[in-house]
Amino acid sequence: MTGIVQTLETPDGPFTIVADADGAVLASGWTGDVETALGRIHPSLRPAEVREGDLHAAEAVRAFYGGDLSAIDDVAVRQRGTEMQQRGWQALRRITPGAPLTYTEFAAGFGAPGAVRPAASICARNAPALFVPCHRVLRSDGSLGGFAWGLDVKRALLDRESGRALL
């Protein structure tokens, strides 16, 4: 399978998107290194080769950074995981921008109250970052917790979504 890759500049640094031939995002994140993005894709979905191209998802990223926080909502994504992971990734897409949840609230939101560690793992294994907004989940004390792309990026995204950042 051949994938499509596009890297664009954002206020938070380079952002690379890897999509399948249909344009569904397989992985994305704040890196200019395509190999890093490819490494986050489940092996059964990972393209054997990628070519550069223009992706609809890149327009959604530009719109998001331009202030349209809902622009990422309808971008198709494709991930492979357990049934619980799938429910979790779907629940992440329902979190309102500017209204982050705790890991406990997030776990309850995908039907697994008390499954805080699995909730954190679901976020950590989320390949299409931004489009599946795992950055919207915080520790119960309100601290940031982890983020594959760095806490500075997570903080900037949360600030942007809450209206505290300059667009």
Domains and CATH numbers, the chain: 2-65 (no CATH), 83-162 (1.10.10.10)
Catalytic site residue from 134, 137, 148, 158: 134
134 is catalytic: yes
Q: Mean pLDDT across the chain, nearest whole number?
A: 95
Q: What share of the chain is helix, strand, coil (3-state, %, to 5)?
A: 35, 20, 45
pLDDT digits (tens, 9 = 90+) for 106-142: 999 999 998 889 999 999 999 999 999 999 999 999 9
**Cα angle vertex 132, ends 105, 163, to 5°?**
75
Is the pLDDT at 167 greater than 50, yes or no?
no
Is the pLDDT at 166 greater than 90, yes or no?
no
Is the pLDDT at 88 greater than 80, yes or no?
yes
